[in-house]
Every structure is written in C-alpha cells, then in structure tokens.
Structure 1
Amino acid sequence: MYTIIVVPGPGMAPCEKLRLAPGETLRFGREASASTGAQTLLTIPHDGVSRSAGEITATDTYWSLSNFSRAATYAVENPEGAGEHIKVAPRRLGAPVAFEFSRVVLPAGTDLLSFDVWAPRHDYAAPAEGAEQPERPGGPDGAGRRGRNEPARGRGGEPTALAFPLDRSKRYFTVLAALCEPRLRGEPYAPLPTVEQVVERLRPCWPAANRAAVQWNIDYLAVKLRLKPGPDSCEPGPRLNGKKEMLVSLALRFDLVREDDLAAPAFCAGGGGR
C-alpha cells in the first residue's frame, strides 16, 4: 500500500510520479546514487544542489525529510496553508512533516527548485459516546454562538469556552475574511489589502462600506481577538502597529478563516450588525 506520492518538478528525473510505501525512502540530489541504499531515487540536475541533498522517508500517517546539505536550509510549504511552512536546517535528520500536500523548496544558486509531496489523508478520532463534540470556532452549524447558560450536548456541565468566538454572520468577520483573502487564494506572500481595497472588495455586498467603517471593524477585531485591551480596561496598552498583519497572522495560524469562508453566503451577503 502506497502512502506517499512524490511529484518531481521540471527537469527532474524521473519525470513521473514516485510512490513510496511505509518504511520506504527516496534519496534526492544532483547525483543521487543507488549505492546509498535508498529504494527510490530523484535526480535534480542543477549545480546548486548537493550531490546527495536529502532523503524522504514514508510512514503510515506522515513523512519525514532529512537535509544532507552542509549550508542550505530547506523549506517545506503547505500550498493550502496560506504561508504555513516548516524549515529543515542543514544536517537535520528525520524532520517530520504532517501536511497532506507539501512543496519542498531547495535553494539552488540563484534559483529556487521545488517538488511536491502528497501524503495520506489525515484521520481523526471519532468522539466517544456522550462526550462533548469538538467545535469549530463560530462555525456555520452554530458552534460558538451558544449562550453561556445553555447546556452542552453530551456530558452535563458548562461547555468548553472558545478561544476565539467569532460569529460568521457579522460584518467584522467579512472584513477579516477580506483581509485574509489574498493569502487564502494561494498567494502566501501577498501584501495585505489596504483599507481602501477592503472597502472596494466588500462594497457589492455592503453598499454603505467606507474607510471609517472598515477601520472601526479592524479595531474591533483587535480587541475581540485580544490583541489589544478593550475600552473598559484599566490598562490602555501600547500602541498597536501592524494591526492588520497581526490579525491575519492569527486568523490563518488557527484556521479562524478558511478558504471555504470566501464562498460562504455570509461573506457575499455582508452580514449584519457589528
């Protein structure tokens, strides 16, 4: 049973997909050699790549990357993660990678070379009978909007408090989604939209949108997500620079906004209220 599929980049040999079963390895580099004991080889004919650059090892639920370079750090990007990535330092062995879809990026002279790795679909534990169900913060099923005095399903007692109680029907969420949109659409290093660009993006579903209203929602999000103290706090807190960048970084890191939110009715309809 194959669990890992490696998709070579342009000019690499072989050019077809390579499949690894649990326990199998793939050695890659400028002159990857069968004498290393690797069961599969990927040749990257570029003089900026080490002769023996690294190795991939397949397991049941993830894969690991070894970096044999003495100087180059490799990056493993999650193309679906809006900039999520890990770094594998020179000479690091067996760094685990848990992304379902990954892009291994190798610095090679003035070029950046890459190949893709497809891993097994992630498995999730089924909730035990009677246990409190896991919730996605503020999800469309109503999770995160239950009142404090409403009973939790399953076991008795108070429900688990959500870390980031966002309501996707509210206008502040459409502003947050608009800020995250460029990076969610596959441009992980895209600059964030300006306030004026957010206004233009949301005007079809929020005709009254203007700069002041969008900025107010950004300030509200900074308080709601606890990046700055609220107006009733005794501590005014320091001036918050880079507020939009901090909001987007937090939202994408904890999946508060996902790509499917950009197609949701709440994002197109603009929501109501705050």
Structure 2
Amino acid sequence: MYSIIVMPPCGTGSADQIRLSAGEKLTFGRAVQEGGLAIAHEGVSRVAGEITAHRAFWILSNLSQDQTYVVENPEGAGEHIKVTPGRLDAPVSFEFSRVVLPAAGDLLSFDVWAPRHTYRSAARLGHSGATTAPAFCLDRTKRYFAVLAALCEPRLRGAPHAPLPTVDETVERLRAVWPTVTRSSVYWNIDYLAVKLRLRPSTDTAEPGPRLYGKKESLVSLALRFDLVQEDDLVVLAAAQSEVAQ
C-alpha cells in the first residue's frame, strides 16, 4: 500500500502521480536516472534531493551544495520548514506539502501528498485492547472538508436527488469563508478528496468534464452514505474559521 504521492511539477511533460510505499525512495533533479523525478531546469542540481516515504509522513534530503529548499503547508497559513543545503532526512509531517526549489531566478515547485494520516477517534472509555481503526479520516478544519460540505449541501438540505453544484457554484458558495477561493483550488481539493477517501477516477472517459463530474458524484455518494458530512457540518460554510486555511 502506498504511503505518499508525489505530483510532478507542471511543464515536465508528466501528469502521472508517483506513488511510494513506506521505505521507498525517489530522487529528483535535472539529470536523475530513470525512475526519478526529472526537473529540466538549468538552475536545478543534477541530483537535487531525495524523498523517502514513511507510513504517515516523509523525509527530505537536500543534496544541493548551496540552495535551501522550502516545504510549504498549503493549508497552514504560511506554515513551512526550511531544509538547508546538505541536510539529510528532514522529516515532513504535513498532510499535503509543496516543495519549493529556487532555480536561477525562478521558483519551481511540486506537491507531495501524505493521505495516510490518521486521527484518534473518540475516547476509549477505559476499555482495554486495540482501538478500532477509523474507516475514513477527515479533518473538519481543513478546506477540503469545506469543499466536500459544499458539494453535499443541496442533498443535505432535503433534496436527496438534487444535481450537484458546479465548480463555479461551489466557488461562490465558499467565497464567504474562503475569500481567495478559485476554480483551480476547488479542482485541487476535489482531486485530493478522491485520494483521501481512496476513490479512483474513472478511466473510461477521455473528456475531463465527465470524469470530474463522476468524481464529484462518487465523493458525495460516499460521504452521505457513511455520514462523513451531516447537516450540522454545514456550519463550516456559514462561519469563517481561521484554521481552515490553504
């Protein structure tokens, strides 16, 4: 079972996700060997760094001699860590991260997802023995949950067969609690939810529109079937939350 997912940067010619199981490594740089993440930019070291997957986090080694790398938490309101030149095995605990590489005046980036994060469930009430593993782990303070709530809202409001909101309608619904929301950020969070909830996008349709619609339908169906989003959760669409940040 994979532990982390690396999203190649735009412009590399590769749209495929790179999935790593615990203990597996991925080298990235300008001239990495086959199987690595190639970043074709003259300002990137030939072998710039290495990512190693662990169960719910990953570690980053900066193999450059003079460039500091920054790992941002897109949901952390500016939260980030710096990995200095030559630093090995720096742990990264963010659920999703953006690795930023300075490169001859440009800032290049790629994303790393760690969707296997888990959260402790309700108090154990003194019972002995192993805890029951939660079926789905969702953090209600994150923006991906607000996106999921917005998608589920029409059906939670008493119209179980209502059509799902379009991405544009979702953007408008979220704007009060997420002023900088864009179509791209909604798409991104939908993609992340599909990974987080272990769904797979349809592969039998070449058109991006129908494929996205099927993904939204699958997400809402799963969320409502297992009470992952309930009517009380719609408060995330009505009250601004400083912790809900990207």
TM-score (norm 1): 0.46
Structure 1 residues 181 and 19, CA gap change in structure 2 (3 angstroms): closer
1:102 pairs with 85, 94, 97, which one? 97
Matches within 5 A, 1:65-80: 65-80=60-75
Aligned equivalents of 1:266, 1:94: Cα separation in 2: 37
1:114 pairs with 109, 115, 120, which one? 109
TM-score (norm 2): 0.51
Aligned length: 142
Give the equivalent residue in structure 2 for 1:53: 48
Question: How far apart are residue 262 of structure 1 and its match?
Answer: 7.1
Aligned-CA RMSD value:
2.9
Per-residue deviation, residues 106-146 of structure 1 (Å, max 9, x unmatched): 00001000000111242123323169xxxxxxx9xxxxxxx
Provide structure 1 residue ranges, at least 5 long, that are not aligned to the other structure: 35-39, 132-138, 140-179, 187-259, 268-274
Q: What SS does the corresponding residue of 1:3 show, helix, strand or coil?
A: strand
Aligned equivalents of 1:43, 1:7: Cα separation in 2: 12
Do the aligned partners of 2:3 and 2:116 also contact (CA within 8 Å) in 1? no
Question: How far apart are residue 27 of structure 1 and its match?
Answer: 0.2
Aligned equivalents of 1:33, 1:61: Cα separation in 2: 27
Per-residue deviation, residues 82-104 of structure 1 (Å, max 9, x unmatched): 11111111101111111111100
Per-residue deviation, residues 159-190 of structure 1 (Å, max 9, x unmatched): xxxxxxxxxxxxxxxxxxxxx976x869xxxx
Per-residue deviation, residues 49-68 of structure 1 (Å, max 9, x unmatched): 00000000001110011000
Give the equivalent residue in structure 1 for 2:237: 263
Do the aligned partners of 1:22 and 1:59 also contact (CA within 8 Å) in 2? yes
The structure whose Rg is larger is 1
Equivalent pairs: percent with the same residue? 57
Do the aligned partners of 1:2 and 1:20 also contact (CA within 8 Å) in 2? yes
Structure 1 residues 265 and 41, CA gap change in structure 2 (3 angstroms): closer
* Larger relative contact order (CA 8 Å, sep ≥ 6): 2
Do the aligned partners of 1:11 and 1:44 also contact (CA within 8 Å) in 2? no
